[in-house]
Amino acid sequence: MNASAGFTLARKLRDGETVFGGWCTLPYPLVTELLGQDGFPAVVLDQQHGFWDTASLVAAIAAAHHSGTAPIVRIPIGDFAMVSRALDFGAAGIIAPMINTAADARALAAAAKFPPLGERSWGPQGALRFSGTADAKSYLRKANDLTVTFAMIETRAALDNLDAILAPPGIDGVFVGPFDLSITLAGGKTIDPESKEVDAALTKILKAAATADKLTGVYCHSAKRARALAKRGFRFITAGTDTSFLRAGVSAVLDELKA
């Protein structure tokens, strides 16, 4: 029994590869499947701001594996119970928003990793199917290495506590939310994910992650921005949302019709 290609993301990132992903807010497994079939090696299923419920999430994780892409779940704020559930369903990774303190990071690691790194509860019904393991003991031995756990850096508090957030062994890396970060750094006065303040924060985050030997990820709203941040050293980068892809496609068709 071979592991799904969706469980190669952790190895790729730890080997230093750059992985671009799509971002899914629409609660339709078909969208996830299409993004995988069309070439994205990873897709983020956004439960924080997207429309995913548990049933659609389970179906989308399976659709992602079947299309050869890695399903990553962004949980709602503070919903650490969903961390282990999503991993049980077969998620290849977790992105947790608003991780602002060392305590937040430890809680995330505890939910995401089996002992000795964490306290993840046993029950990986979907993960066993997609992981290619012959039995439960085999899965347990390699589960912590099969998945990636990202703590989101989105606030000034998170920047101040960056080293402490990176420290727990069960935290594989940090994932930057540049829109929220720009809002907090501007004191709520504006939103600019490419501001000088955000740019300086990105440099700080890359340096701290390199020192801690941890992974780095970032949300980007365009392919151009994704390429630029890949050159800076980020390794897991999303390059737009399903809704932006849809609107761009419609706009292109309408422009052609008007030509």
Which CATH number is 112's domain given? 3.20.20.60
Confidence of residue 1 (pLDDT cuts 50, 70, 90): very low
The residues facing 153 across adjacent strands are 176
Confidence of residue 134 (pLDDT cuts 50, 70, 90): confident
- Find out whether 35 and 240 touch, Cβ atoms under 8 Å: no
221 classed as catalytic? no
The model's pLDDT over 58-79, given as tens digits with 9 standing for 90+, comes to 999 999 999 999 999 999 999 9
> What is the per-residue pLDDT for 4?
77
**Domain containing 218: what range?**
5-258
Q: What percentage of the chain has pLDDT greater than the value 90?
A: 95
Average pLDDT estimate for 31-52: 96
- Find out whether 192 and 225 touch, Cβ atoms under 8 Å: no
> What is the per-residue pLDDT for 2?
58
The model's pLDDT over 219-250, given as tens digits with 9 standing for 90+, comes to 999 999 999 999 999 999 999 999 999 999 99
* Confidence check: pLDDT of 3 > 90: no
Average pLDDT estimate for 19-29: 97
> What is the per-residue pLDDT for 46?
98
Number of domains in the chain: 1
d(CA 30, CA 1): 25
Distance (Å) of CA 242 to CA 71, 77, 158, 177: 14, 21, 28, 17
Cβ burial 111-141 (10 Å sphere, 16+ → b, else e):
bbbbeebbebeeebebbbebbebeeeeebee
Average pLDDT estimate for 132-146: 90
> What is the per-residue pLDDT for 133?
80
- Going by C-alpha positions, the residue among 247, 95, 254 that lies closest to residue 180 is 95
- Find out whether 132 and 1 touch, Cβ atoms under 8 Å: yes
